Structure 1
Amino acid sequence: MRLSRRALLAATAVAPLPACTASPSTASPSTASPSAAEDRGRLRTGFERLADDGYALLDGARVGIVTNPTGVTRDVRHVVDVMHADDRVNLVAVLGPEHGFRGTAQAGGSEGRHDDPATGLPVHDTYLKRGQPLANVFTAAGVDTVVFDIQDVGARFYTYVWTLYDCMEAARLAGKRFVVLDRPNPVTGRAASGPVLHREFASFVGRQPVAQAHGMTVAELARLFNGEFLAAPVELDVVRMTGWRRSQWYDATGLPWVPASPNMPTPDTALVYAGTCLLEGTNLSEGRGTTRPFELLGAEGIDGRWAAAVNGLGLPGAHAREAYFAPAFSKFRGRTVGGVQIHVHDRDAYDPVRTGVALLVTAKRVWSGFAWRSDHWIDRLTGSARVRTAIDAGANVDEVVAGWREELAAFGRVRREYLLYE
């Protein structure tokens, strides 16, 4: 890895929120740190703390915000609507990611350039833009400060974290300041798990060496990106939460859940997603087009043997139920397929990445029609060819998991340098 933590702090020193008191042992100059009184209170998101402080961090700035439907307050008002109505904020542009600012586009789509009918603000499209073309969008939007406020789900291949990365790099190129408003990792931030991406497999579902389930918040990821991966640091300020602990699940936060994308309807979806999204790299349905995406999995010709094989592995925290469904869109649209539904009965014991590997190993064993996608998309999802080639060679689940143990440990050591919460 490239920069030390000390180098990061020296390169990104900006003033904390005036209402906060920084502790030398727990906060950096680039991080708005909570007071002791705030720590004893309820969970407050980065946006809540920014607003409660009168938006002092944005004083005098022409602000553009990268956000989507998850950028809401506790009473489910969108932060764009709140900021637009507040004279203390000069919000001049909205920047929409994949699925769009208002979230109407399916996977692989966006809403394009338009004016928001609710506020009249120009909405610029960031999807599939990076580097200088994205920097040019920031310049054309007339902003000098780019704010990021999107709810992540904790998986490396969820594209919003790479929208964050691309926007940070573009802000650096355009000479803009970058502010990240933190939100919880809905599946806790206890630990990272799964394989780490190899750079030769980089894509929009993973640009840099990060574990498949990263166990970080977006503010922590921003610090990691700034310290390890950007060509040079951007002027970065993160507004951390108060009242969140790494062991906390989303349903304990008191925050409303807004679907983070059209196929992420509930926190239960996020719980399994870091593993079952691997089915996207095969000819099996990952449940898109059903009411339980990433929980329902299957294909034509699969019967109850798959569920039996999965349950025979004794996976911690979950059972597989034999299931049949007919997707309304995506793979097998309108056709009845057989497969499984993953039911998590102990989320503290559940390992989504191990479960995802187990599903691949057993599907290949019990269904003669199993095939990887011809573009080897599975390699982009797992971050290398290792998982695919190991399964093809007949490796069992333990053997596949052992293949990433050393690289995961190395990532974990770097990850610790950028964590903000206990």
Structure 2
Amino acid sequence: AEQKDKFDVQIIFTPQYGILTDPVHSLKPPPDGMDERFDAQIKRLWGREYRPNVLDLREVDLVIIDLQDTGVRFHTFMTTVTKVMEAAAEYEKPVILLDRPNPLNGNILDGPVVRPQFQSFVGYHLVPIRHGMTVGEYALMVNETGWIRQSVICDLTVIPMSNWRRDMWIDETGLTVTPLWKGIVDPVTLTAAAGMGLLEGTNLSFGEGTSKPYTVVGAPWLVPHQLLMGLNKAGLPGVRFAETTFTPDSLSDNVSHPLYAGQECYGVKLIIENKDRFDPLRTTVTILSLTANLEPRRFKWVGNNYVDKLYGHNYLRLFIAQERDIRKLPATWSEEVIRFNQFR
């Protein structure tokens, strides 16, 4: 009782897909929008209101951030953290952030750094797709680099973790693994999502709305045999491929309208045999290049070239449009990843 009296929780903010400690109950607030434990309002920071407003923080003395990031730049958790820090700085509220590990380990950095003209909510900071930072490291970089809007500085205190090593994957930490992104609960699928998430900018299904998201690729119009042959010839490390069929459906609140819902899709499944050797970005860009060459009339970039925002710039589209050797694409980001690793 004494401890409870010391804190009065005024409001609970949730990111795009809610606080995923419970895959059923925490994806959306209850009908009255109140948390029964603390008698506090629950507010989702997404859509029209993606940052706290002055009324949200009027009675607040301290903002506490405790959020598990995915380690993937185009997942929006760290954008939301930045927006909370921005509002806290503007309204002069101190922030305490509880550090959490990078679930994909802190050693592997990969993918292009966002170009400023392609910044968006899915590419808010100038970091690689796999950034290798913990939540606390990322927040400190945002604060110290002036990446908060108008370069304001947040009164930020990071409470560090203990016993975490940079080579640890989330399943090696001993922590309870809760859904990390759209129901992903294991590091192998999350690793695949670091690459296969780029398919959201195409008319290919990555298995959203199935029990195997991010580990299949297909479409009702795809002929998988030639794609499979091309992938087998590519010699991609840590993964093998097999033909498959799947039918996307609405399995949960956070996947309400998957691409090709109710339609049988023909495609290829990824069988990841070694997550340390598996290269999700190289694998995904190879899939995209092969599909574009095999199905030039049916394959499409969608959402006003949304893939550019996910990727960080337009090199991926240009490489494929020009039918360049996709094996050379990673060389376009290798130097900037080295520079970022020295900077972080």
Give yes or no for the alignment of 1:248 onto 2:177: no
Q: Is the 8 A contact 1:130 1:170 kept in 2?
A: no
Q: Is the 8 A contact 2:11 2:56 kept in 1?
A: no
Give yes or no for the alignment of 1:392 onto 2:321: yes
C-alpha separation between the residues in 2 aligned to 1:412 and 1:151? 22
- Equivalent positions of 1:304-315 (< 5 A) are 304-315=225-236
Q: Structure 1 residue 139: deviation in Å?
A: 2.2
Q: Deviations over 1:27-80 (max 9, x none)?
A: xxxxxxxxxxxxxxxxxxxxxxxxxxxxxxxxxxxxxxxxxxxxxxxxxxxxxx
Letter in 1 for 2:112: P
Q: Structure 1 residue 322: deviation in Å?
A: 1.3
- Equivalent positions of 1:13-92 (< 5 A) are 86-92=4-10
Q: Structure 1 residue 396: deviation in Å?
A: 2.0
Give yes or no for the alignment of 1:94 onto 2:12: yes
Instruction: Quickly say closer, same or farther: Cα 1:138–1:305, change in 2 above 3 A.
Output: same
Q: Deviations over 1:212-261 (max 9, x none)?
A: 11111111100110111121221111111111111111111111111123
- Percent pairwise identity: 32
TM-score, normalised via structure 1 length: 0.73
Count of aligned pairs between the two proteins: 329
Instruction: Quickly say closer, same or farther: Cα 1:283–1:143, change in 2 above 3 A.
Output: same
Q: Is the 8 A contact 2:99 2:136 kept in 1?
A: yes
- In the other structure, the counterpart of 1:121 is 40
Q: Alpha carbon RMSD of aligned pairs, Å?
A: 2.4
Provide the secondary structure at the position in 1 that maps to 2:129: strand
- In the other structure, the counterpart of 1:148 is 65
- In the other structure, the counterpart of 2:265 is 337
Give yes or no for the alignment of 1:298 onto 2:218: yes
Give yes or no for the alignment of 1:317 onto 2:238: yes
Q: Is the 8 A contact 2:95 2:155 kept in 1?
A: yes
C-alpha separation between the residues in 2 aligned to 1:400 and 1:84? 59
C-alpha separation between the residues in 2 aligned to 1:279 and 1:178? 36
Instruction: Quickly say closer, same or farther: Cα 1:401–1:185, change in 2 above 3 A.
Output: same
C-alpha separation between the residues in 2 aligned to 1:342 and 1:355? 9
Q: Is the 8 A contact 1:98 1:127 kept in 2?
A: yes
Give yes or no for the alignment of 1:408 onto 2:337: yes
Q: Is the 8 A contact 2:22 2:179 kept in 1?
A: no
Q: Is the 8 A contact 1:188 1:246 kept in 2?
A: yes
Q: Deviations over 1:361-413 (max 9, x none)?
A: 12212234211114101000001111111111112222211122232222222
- In the other structure, the counterpart of 2:80 is 163
Runs (4+) of structure 1 exceeding 6 A deviation are: 102-106
Provide the secondary structure at the position in 2 that maps to 1:403: helix
C-alpha separation between the residues in 2 aligned to 1:362 and 1:84? 63
C-alpha separation between the residues in 2 aligned to 1:84 and 1:179? 22
Q: Is the 8 A contact 1:103 1:262 kept in 2?
A: no
Provide the secondary structure at the position in 2 that maps to 1:248: coil
- In the other structure, the counterpart of 2:253 is none
Q: Structure 1 residue 153: deviation in Å?
A: 1.2
Match of 1:216 among 129, 133, 140: 133
Q: Structure 1 residue 125: deviation in Å?
A: 2.7
C-alpha separation between the residues in 1 aligned to 2:133 and 2:49? 23
Match of 2:247 among 320, 326, 330: 326
**Any stretches of 5+ residues in structure 2 without a counterpart?**
251-257
- In the other structure, the counterpart of 1:264 is 184
Q: Structure 1 residue 137: deviation in Å?
A: 4.7
Which moves more between the two structures, 115-124 or 336-345?
115-124
C-alpha separation between the residues in 1 aligned to 2:75 and 2:3? 31
Give yes or no for the alignment of 1:181 onto 2:98: yes
C-alpha separation between the residues in 2 aligned to 1:85 and 1:299? 55
- In the other structure, the counterpart of 1:21 is none
Which moves more between the two structures, 90-99 or 109-118?
109-118
Instruction: Quickly say closer, same or farther: Cα 1:370–1:104, change in 2 above 3 A.
Output: farther
Q: Structure 1 residue 182: deviation in Å?
A: 1.4
Q: Structure 1 residue 88: deviation in Å?
A: 4.0
Q: Is the 8 A contact 1:97 1:110 kept in 2?
A: no
Instruction: Quickly say closer, same or farther: Cα 1:414–1:128, change in 2 above 3 A.
Output: farther
C-alpha separation between the residues in 2 aligned to 1:84 and 1:267? 39
Q: Structure 1 residue 199: deviation in Å?
A: 1.4
Instruction: Quickly say closer, same or farther: Cα 1:114–1:101, change in 2 above 3 A.
Output: farther
Match of 1:197 among 100, 114, 127: 114
Provide the secondary structure at the position in 2 that maps to 1:144: coil
Q: Is the 8 A contact 1:321 1:342 kept in 2?
A: yes
C-alpha separation between the residues in 2 aligned to 1:312 and 1:84? 65
Give yes or no for the alignment of 1:279 onto 2:207: no
Q: Is the 8 A contact 1:97 1:127 kept in 2?
A: yes
Q: Structure 1 residue 183: deviation in Å?
A: 1.4
- In the other structure, the counterpart of 1:371 is 300
Q: Structure 1 residue 169: deviation in Å?
A: 1.1
C-alpha separation between the residues in 2 aligned to 1:89 and 1:158? 31
C-alpha separation between the residues in 2 aligned to 1:175 and 1:239? 20
Provide the secondary structure at the position in 1 that maps to 2:343: helix
